[in-house]
Amino acid sequence: MPPDSERDAVLDAARRARVASTVLGPSTRSVKDAAIRAMADALDARADEVLTANQRDVDRAVEAGTAEGLVDRLTLTTARLAAIAAALRDVAELPDPVGEVLRGYTLPNGLEVRQVRVPMGVVGIIYEARPNVTVDAAGLGLKSGNAVLLRGSSSAFDSNTALVTVMQDALAASGLPRDCVQLVPGTTHEAAKHLMTARGLVDVLIPRGGAGLIRSVVEESTVPVIETGVGNCHVYVDADADVDKAVRLLVNSKTHRPSVCNAAETFLVHVDIADEFLPAALGALKDAGVTVHGDKRVRGYAAPSGVDFADVTDEDWAAEYLSLDVAAGVVDSLDDAVSHIRRWSSGHTEAIVTEDQGAVRQFVAQVDAAAVMVNASTRFTDGGEFGFGAEIGISTQKLHARGPLGLSELTSTKYVVTGDGHIRQ
């Protein structure tokens, strides 16, 4: 597609999304929920069509020598597609955030003031090769009253095209505009850039993926961005930790699913408990196949455990490994642990393991992150685990949305002020 034509196509899609949002935004919950359930039913009914398209993407990825883990994230199966449809039905069961009154009061002059949740309008989502995100984003966007513009990776183009076609057909059959859910035309970075600069047509962008993708969207976009973040997450084992509990939490945080942003990448242990904790922890990490990148004090415990060990570097302290690797250090105090986390944290999730409530209060007050876990695995930072039902990503910024982005975070607010002929004196 010629550059000018590609730009025109992207902007035209954005204009159509804005028109669709004016229909979707005021729609009742029953209308939106019926459409979401219709999309789920259509995915079940047309599974063969979607899986055939997905197989073309998978074949191309394998031929290109794509890493096995990435191919797995790209692959849809009958079971996975059924789970995606089931997740849509779960979204339909969630409370509708639109119209919720956040606060309301009457002024001394009799004016009634209400702050009410409203849709953003048009939400653009730029993400990497996970076709399930296409459906999750469509469902969450629809439920929150937003038209969505989806920019997945070129590696999932056939899968995403099939998924969106099925969902659009279901929307039309439900009486809502097909343009409530659209793929952004084009597969080049320039097409994505046209979306990023469609200020006035697109209300907000959400990038979901690796650090490079997020940085590109944040730096190049003129549309407001809700910045989802990488996860350099820490587990701090305090002097007053229960050792068995700490080992379980560390192993779960690191190994439950190491390729995701809420997996732990560093653990720190107070010197006063190191003799008891480190032999048990390093043995458990060895059994889980984890390589430990430790400081000189951790090194002294590594050889007896037999764990794979490497000396830690600044690159390790900064790393989001997304693999069975973890950085490790011994600290002399809680203050030192907090200072380390402040320097290296990505602001995603930080955890403390301790039975000392004073240490808990200090850690929670002084650690700056979207989520702070107290005696719990970092893996719980997730919209589903938080009871949101679903999420579109995890934000590490400090604007209106921080942490898991559920339905409420896909809304804005407006003030509705009701009077009876009031004039300002």
pLDDT digits (tens, 9 = 90+) for 68-91: 878 988 999 999 999 999 999 999
pLDDT digits (tens, 9 = 90+) for 89-141: 999 999 999 999 999 999 999 999 999 999 999 999 999 878 999 999 999 99
CATH of 3-228+405-418, one of 3.40.605.10, 3.40.50.720, 3.30.1700.10, 3.40.50.300: 3.40.605.10
Token reading at 5: 């034509």
Given CA atoms 380, 131, 388, 79 in this order, what sign does their dihedral have?
Answer: negative
Q: How far is it, in rounded angstroms, from Cα 44 to Cα 50?
A: 10
Q: What is the pLDDT of residue 181?
A: 98
Which DSSP string do the residues of 341-382 spell out, in sequence order?
Answer: HHHH--SSEEEEE-S-HHHHHHHHHH--SSEEEESS-GGG-S
Q: How far is it, in rounded angstroms, from Cα 220 to Cα 211?
A: 14
pLDDT > 70? residue 163: yes
Q: How far is it, in rounded angstroms, from Cα 259 to Cα 208?
A: 14
Confidence of residue 3 (pLDDT cuts 50, 70, 90): low
User: What top-level class would CATH report for the domain 233-380?
Assistant: alpha beta
Cα distances from 142 to residues 47, 162, 197, 208, in angstroms, run 21, 18, 23, 18
pLDDT > 90? residue 398: no
Q: How far is it, in rounded angstroms, from Cα 369 to Cα 372?
A: 6
Which DSSP string do the residues of 22-76 spell out, in sequence order?
Answer: HHHTT--HHHHHHHHHHHHHHHHHTHHHHHHHHHHHHHHHHHTT--HHHHHHH--
Q: What is the pLDDT of residue 1?
A: 59
Higher pLDDT, 188 or 41: 41
pTM of the model: 0.86
pLDDT digits (tens, 9 = 90+) for 170-197: 999 999 999 999 999 988 889 999 999 9
Among candidate residues 324, 233, 315, 245, the one with its CA nearest the CA of residue 280 = 245
Percent residues over pLDDT 70 in the chain: 99
Token reading at 409: 């975070």
pLDDT > 90? residue 401: no
Higher pLDDT, 212 or 223: 223
β-pairing verdict for 101-106 and 112-119: antiparallel
Confidence of residue 60 (pLDDT cuts 50, 70, 90): very high
pLDDT > 70? residue 338: yes
CB atoms within 10 A of CB 379: 22
Token reading at 139: 């469902």
pLDDT > 80? residue 241: yes
- Helix axes of 131-143 and 29-45: crossing angle, nearest 10 degrees: 160
Q: Which amino acid type is present at position 31? A: V
Given CA atoms 198, 201, 204, 210 in this order, what sign does their dihedral have?
Answer: negative
Percent residues over pLDDT 90 in the chain: 84
Give mean pLDDT, residues 53-57.
Answer: 97
pLDDT > 90? residue 420: yes
Token reading at 397: 């910024």
412: which strand partners? 118
Given CA atoms 275, 280, 283, 284 in this order, what sign does their dihedral have?
Answer: negative
> Residue written as tokens 């200072």?
339
Token reading at 365: 């007050």
Backbone angles phi, psi at 266, to 5 degrees: -145, 140
128 close to 212: Cβ distance less than 8 angstroms: no
N- to C-terminal Cα distance for the chain?
59
Q: What is the pLDDT of residue 391?
A: 83
β-pairing verdict for 325-331 and 112-119: unpaired
Residues 6+ positions from 68 with CB-CB distance below 8 Å: none
Confidence of residue 378 (pLDDT cuts 50, 70, 90): very high
Mean of per-residue pLDDT scores for the chain: 95
Q: What is the pLDDT of residue 388?
A: 82
pLDDT > 90? residue 198: yes
Q: What is the pLDDT of residue 396?
A: 87
β-pairing verdict for 394-395 and 403-404: antiparallel
| Domain limits, the chain | 3-228+405-418, 233-380
Given CA atoms 389, 180, 51, 257 in this order, what sign does their dihedral have?
Answer: negative
Give mean pLDDT, residues 244-250.
Answer: 98
